[in-house]
């Protein structure tokens, strides 16, 4: 899934995006996610930015295919040029959104099935 996520991100890549500032890279990533109807936004976090996905396009199948979350994390990491780790998932512990932490201090991804 990491390879697929990187490939999908590469297909939507902006030439030279890694030379852009983090806010501009975030804007680019959110634009691409919202083109795919994720209803994405970002918020500042103590350890770095968090990307919030308001709609999970895989909600109906995510319990049986949690690897799709890894694909989203890989796309974000590719666009941002830094690690991306999922910290909340739709449906898990009542969450209605997916949240990814960005940056070198991003925690390890949550276990998609608990």
Average pLDDT, the chain: 79
Domain boundaries, the chain: 2-102
pLDDT digits (tens, 9 = 90+) for 34-73: 999 999 999 998 888 999 999 988 888 888 988 899 999 9
Number of Cβ atoms within 10 Å of the Cβ of 76: 27
Position 1 pLDDT exceeds 80? no
Position 95 pLDDT exceeds 80? no
Residue in the structure block whose two tokens are 């830094």: 82
Which of 43, 47, 66, 45 has the alpha carbon at shortest distance from 56?
Answer: 66
Position 107 pLDDT exceeds 70? no
HEC readout, 23-65: HHHHHHHHHHHHHCCCCEEEECCCCCCEEEECCCCCCCCCCCC
What's the pTM?
A: 0.76
Ramachandran assignment for 36, one of left (phi > 0), alpha (psi -120 to 50 degrees), beta (any other):
alpha
What pLDDT, on a 0 to 100 scale, did the predictor assign at position 20? 79
- Is residue 102 within 8 A of residue 48, CB to CB? The reply is yes
What pLDDT, on a 0 to 100 scale, did the predictor assign at position 42? 95
């Amino acid at each position: 899934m990491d390879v697929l996520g990187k490939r999908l991100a590469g297909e939507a890549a902006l030439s030279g995006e890694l030379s852009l500032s983090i806010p501009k890279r975030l804007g680019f990533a959110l634009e691409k996610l919202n083109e795919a109807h994720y209803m994405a936004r970002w918020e500042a976090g103590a350890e770095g930015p968090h990307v919030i996905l308001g709609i999970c396009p895989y909600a109906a199948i995510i319990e049986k295919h949690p690897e799709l979350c890894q694909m989203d994390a890989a796309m974000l990491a590719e666009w941002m040029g830094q690690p991306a780790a999922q910290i909340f998932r739709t449906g898990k512990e009542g969450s209605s959104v997916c949240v990814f932490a960005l940056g070198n201090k991003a925690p390890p991804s949550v276990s998609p099935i608990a």
